[in-house]
Structure formats: C-alpha cells, structure tokens
Structure 1
Amino acid sequence: MSEIVNTEQAQAWNGPEGAHWARNQDRWNAVNEGFNEPLLDAAALTEGHRTLDVGCGSGQTTRLAARRAPRGSALGLDLSDPMLAEARSRAAREGIGNVTFQQGDAQAYSFEPGAFDSAISRYGVMFFSDPEAAFRNIGRALRPGGRLAFVCPAEPSRNGWVAAMEALRGILPLGDFDAPGRPGMFSLASADRIRAVLAAAGFSCVAVDPVEADGAWGHGADDAADFLLNTGPGRHFLGQVDTAAQVRARRALTDHLRGHEAADGTVRLRSTSWLVTADRPAGPTAAS
C-alpha cells in the first residue's frame, strides 16, 4: 500500500463504515447506479482507454469502465481494504481480466505520469483532506488532453435521503451533519467551489451540470428505514439517544418513507448530483 496522508478517512473506511459498504455493496449500487451511464458517457471512453477509478469502493464503476474498453484497462483505487476485497472477488467472478484494484490514497499515490486516458469517480472525491492536492495528483496521472469525469452530491436539500433524515430532527441530534465545505459527502456541493478547486489543480474546460436519478433504498418502508439507520450517520445519531428515542426515530422515518413506496414496494428517493468534467491541458500548461 502506498503512502496515506488522509489518515482520518483511511481509518473510517477500514473500520465499520468500510465493512458496512462492502457487506451492502449491492444495496448501495441500487441506490447509486442511476449515475453510472451518465458518468461513463461523460468520460468518453473508447475501446482502448486506460481508466483510473478514484474512490472505487467495491468496484462497480471500475468493472463497467473495463467492459467499455476491452482493449484497454481499468484501475480502481480506494482507501478501503474491505471494499477492495469485494471488488476483486466480484471482478474475478465476472471474468473481467483487464481490471485491477489497488489500496491507496489519491492525494499521495505515486501514479506513473500520463498513465491514464481518463479518471472517473462515482461519489469518491468528496472525502479528500486537501482537494487541490488530490486533484493535482490525479491530473498528473492523466495524459495531456486526458479527461476527468466524476459525480458528487449537489446541495443537501436536493437529495431525498437528506429530507428523510431531516424528518428525524427533534428526535435525533442531527446538528449540521450535511454542512458543505468540510471533507465528507457534501464537501463539493457548491458548483463554484468545484470550479475553483479544479482550476487551482490545473484542469481546464471545467463543466458542472446537474444530473438526477432515483435510487432504490429498500423493499418496503420498514426495510428502507432499517438500511438508512444502519448507515454511518444513522448509527452515529442513534448511538446518542436512549432506546425510547431510537424507537420514535425508526417509526418517524418509516412513516416518511411510506410516501416514497412505488407500486412494487420499492422505496425510491431522488438524488441530485453534479456531473463534472474537466480536461488536463494538452499543452505546456498541463499540471506537472
């Protein structure tokens, strides 16, 4: 494993949070997979593309990128050993031979300069302790003219799971869990901040466009409520209150989610994200 500088996130994703995501990879893919096609299309992958997947987690987008480039390759990079183990296992079962996975920190990983034609990420770039340094390092890994494409959450109020959690305010001590700016899910919720960070990191032609998708959070309101309350934020907030408040919170969340049950019982919540593309300059101004 290469040098780790983002130690707080490394600890989190190699602890209970990483284990939860690895154990529930299919459920999280059902939540987020509506963004796969827009992301891969934006990356403009060709049959011979060499793709870097940053914060690849359990590797669904890495495997999809590899399938789009049968004469190329895809490398998935993540801090989380539990999720990478799942990624490797799934790739082997699916017989995808042009994909590899590596544990490492994108802020400090020693990429071969210009080794990739594209870098992608589905919800993996919001947790950097130093975003400018991380994107600058990713930029060095791209060939001149290479493309960066990623998806990250837009403003909290535009995401259905946040509205669901907000239904518990007054029962659970939510505080400012969805505050933008700091490392975490909503650190890049501001389009202006994305543009500023990428410009400072040496990227050009930055485009930030909204994209929406309905994610499947469970079958029935009870199941979806259990899943949401077993996420990192859910476990954190439940752990701060007594049993009676936990019961009230679960009941309130279930009631909220009943309004989002489809005819087949699937609970669907709308997520609004930014689809971001940027290029490494092809000329002498490329990041070095």
Structure 2
Amino acid sequence: MFKLAARQQWDACADGWNGKSDLIRNWLRESTDAMLAMADIKTGARVLDVAAGAGDQTLDIARRVGPNGYVLATDFSPAILAFAKDNAWRAGYANVETKAEDGETFEVAEASFDAAICRLGLMLFPDPFKGLKRMVHALKAGGSACTMVFSTPEQNPCIGVLVSTVFKHADLPLPDPYRPGGLLSLGKPGLMDELFGRAGFSHVATTKVAAPFRLPSVQDYLDFVRTSASPILQILAKLDDARRETAWAEITDKLGAFNTSNGWEGPNELLLTVGRRPTI
C-alpha cells in the first residue's frame, strides 16, 4: 500500500515537478556536480540513474558520458519518467534510455554499468538496503555508486517545520524523523556508511554538503512544496479546507524566520555517499 500510494502521488505531481526542473537544478547544482564527480562518471561510461524523476541530472550525465556513453534512467513513476524521456529527446541526447522500475527490485544485467547514482531518492525507499544491493549487482568490478540524501533534522529545519506543523493540525503524533521512507530517514550519522558496507560496497565515504534553497520569497518555496509528492501533502489532503488553510498559514509564518535582506534562504544539508564494487 505504501508504494502504491507513493507511486500515485508522484504520478499526480509529475507535471508540476517537471515544471520546477530549473528551480531544482539551480538548488542542487553544486551538490549534483559533486555527486557525479564522486561517482567517477567519465566519457564513454555506462551510467545507471536510479529514481531519476524528471531527469535534469540525467541530462548532466548524458553530457558527461558523451555520444559513445549510455545512461539508463529508472523511476517507479511512469508519469514522471515520461518527462525524463521527453526532456532527453528535446535536449538531443540519443544516449539516454528510460525504464519504469522500482528502485528496490529493478532488473539489469549484472556488472553492466560503470557507475550508478541516486539523487534524493534513496531515503524514500521503504528498504534502501535493497536498492543499494541492486546497484552493487549492476556495477562492474571497480565501478562506483554515489547517492544523495538529506542529513539530520537539525541541519534541515524547513522539513521539520513542514512535518511538525502538518502532523499537529492533523492531530497525529509526531513521527520519528528516521522512520523508513521519510525525507530524513537516512540522515542518522553513520547510517549511510553502514548500509553501503552491508550492501557489499568497498571504499565507502560520506561527505556533508550545504545546499541552501535560495528563492525570492517563502511563497516560492511553498509553491515548490505543493508540487512535490511529499507525504505531508497526502495528510493535508485529508483535512477540511479550513484546517488545511490554517496549517499552510502557520507553515508560512514559521518559515518566515528564514527571510533575509536578499530574499528567502532555507538551510539544507545533504550527505553524498560513495562506494565501489570490489574488484575481487
């Protein structure tokens, strides 16, 4: 039921999420470049992009590997993956293929990719360990994978504001931020290294990256949130109009704490974890 609801939510939000691609690209520009460098993506490489979404990072990979390289973008939402396919076609990248696959169970030939990445998707998996195992399976010996997830609640306060306020207005107990499938589920210190190691990766290392979300106003951030497939939207949808608007008003007020003289700047910290498939 969890995956079915999540898939339906992403399918419903696909158009809006794709419409925010430029905003997302600007927000994650430096951290995405770092992720691709850590995954050692080179000209001519075969690269697996897991939970690719609308695929703006897929285009970056396609450019890096060049016409002799290959990118397979997967996502469990066929609707959002259709945008990734169209965006690659519009950009003129004939080296991109898309395939609707669950990130925990996708099927590819063993040892068929030089590198794999997963940008802000792994933390939404009910069982991220399964996803990492599939990435190890897909990689050639010595091939690298790099994932990007949110770090601790303290370093990502805007997510905390959204979750705590929505759960309060829905009269629900505040969930454990590290619960499986949540936005912050993989932020616990040491957890990503432990999961990579158990999955079979060697040379595992995690780097913290600051990724502030800079926008003209808090309303611009909330416009972005409303196009996401966050579980908080599913909860808000169950409230009556008055309670829902009261919740949004309180969220707006609390997030106003991040207003600056140059607009709105929401703090975020990401974890980039890299590992290799052993050569022996």
TM-score, normalised to structure 2, is: 0.87
Distance 1:49 1:178, change over 3 A: farther
**Residue type matched to 1:250 in 2?**
W
- Aligned twin of 1:206: 204
Aligned to 1:129: 126
* Aligned counterparts, 1:30-45, within 5 A: 30-31=23-24, 32-34=27-29, 35-45=31-41
Post-superposition offset of 1:111: 1.2
Distance 2:21 2:92 in 1: 22
Note the 1:1-288 alignment, pairs <5 A.
8-9=2-3, 11-27=4-20, 30-31=23-24, 32-34=27-29, 35-70=31-66, 71-165=68-162, 168=165, 170-173=168-171, 175-177=173-175, 179-216=177-214, 219-229=216-226, 231=228, 232-263=230-261, 265=263, 267-283=264-280
Number of paired residues? 274
Measured in 2, the distance between the counterparts of 1:36 and 1:79 equals: 21
* Cα RMSD (Å): 2.4
Higher helix share: 2
Amino acid at match of 2:20: R
Could you tell me whether the CA contact under 8 Å between 2:168 and 2:174 is conserved in 1? no
Identity value in percent: 26
* TM-score with structure 1 setting the length: 0.84
Q: Which runs of 5+ in 2 are unaligned?
A: none
Equivalent position of 1:4 in the other structure = none
Letter in 1 for 2:203: C
Task: Tell me the SS of whatever aligns to 1:24.
Answer: helix
Letter in 1 for 2:34: P
Structure 1's unaligned 5+ residue stretches are 1-6, 284-288
Structure 1 residues 167, 79: closer, same or farther in 2, change over 3 A? Answer: closer
Whether contact under 8 Å (2:62, 2:71) holds in the other structure is: yes
C-alpha separation in 2, matches of 1:134 and 1:24: 23
Displacement, 1:120? 0.6
Cα distance in 2 for residues equivalent to 1:246 and 1:129: 27
Task: Please say if residues 120 and 149 of structure 2, whose CA atoms lie closer than 8 Å, have aligned partners that are also in contact.
Answer: yes
Does the CA contact (< 8 Å) of 1:214 and 1:268 recur in 2?
Answer: yes
**C-alpha deviation, 1:240, in angstroms:** 4.5
TM-superposed CA distance for 1:28, in Å, is 5.7
